[in-house]
Amino acid sequence: MSSSEAPSPVPLSLFAAFRSNLWTDLALTMPIFVVYHLGVVTLDVRNAADFFTQKLVVMAERNMLVYWGITLAIGAAIFFGLSLLGAGEAFNKKRFLLVGVEGVFYAILMRSAAVYAVGALPMAGIEVAPGVWPSLVMSLGAGFYEEVAFRVVLFGGGLVAVSLFFGGVSKLGLALGWGLVCAAIFSGWHYIGPLGDPWNLHSFVFRTVCGLVFTLIFTLRGFAPAVWTHALYDIWVMVLH
């Protein structure tokens, strides 16, 4: 190598090379989306970030069978649409297995990081309703819709707006600062509304750390791993314990 040549720098977003694209991410999260929507209509509660269920209920004229039919039709349309767009390989069972294993791995690391940072919280989950089924459905809803709201819209969309406003600040600094703000907002979300927790600084910081980890997964690995990590962690906390 000549003296004028410099070694190629290792990109900060090294893992980004292994990210799924938008269509593959959507395909990999379809089971969570469909099962949540099939199940949530049987409950008296739904995830607060769920902006879609009520529209489906109105479309179905509050008929549960029609609602289920519309939900399955939407899932089928997305399946065939993604297949035509070239994301059909994402429906391979091995891909679902891999993203599931990845989600479990990240969920364990996330809890370990949060425990290291602020100490342990009891593993008992919030009882949204008695029984395993409601907790399972609500875990799936949190995984999908909270990642849409807080990682895709708030962090991703907000970072674009913040970057335009603070153009002179480094992109990494903006991403870190905005990521922390979004993680704090995500944590505070859990204390709002009829199902919200009583305020507790310990749990707020714990959830903020979790929000930072979700943001890191979303940034480096993509939407689907973040959704699966979130859903599987909530199942671990709310169903298995």
Non-local (6+) Cβ contacts of 5 within 8 A are none
Per residue in 129-178, pLDDT (tens digit) is 567 899 999 999 999 999 999 999 999 999 999 888 887 778 888 999 99
For residue 15 the two structure tokens come to: 């893992």
Report which DSSP code applies to 238.
I
Would you state the pLDDT for residue 122? 64
Would you state the pLDDT for residue 19? 62
Would you state the pLDDT for residue 16? 47
For the chain, list residues with pLDDT below 50. Answer: 1-17, 124-127
Would you state the pLDDT for residue 144? 97
CA distance 183 to 237: 19
Would you state the pLDDT for residue 15? 44
Would you state the pLDDT for residue 129? 53
Would you state the pLDDT for residue 3? 40
Which ranges of the chain would DSSP assign to H, the alpha helix?
22-40, 53-59, 64-84, 93-118, 132-141, 158-165, 171-189, 201-220, 223-235
- Per-residue DSSP letters for 69-133? HHHHHHHHHHHHHHHHTT-GGGGSHHHHHHHHHHHHHHHHHHHHHHHHHH-----PPP-SSSSHH
* Reported pTM: 0.86
Q: Are 40 and 53 in contact (CB under 8 A)?
A: yes
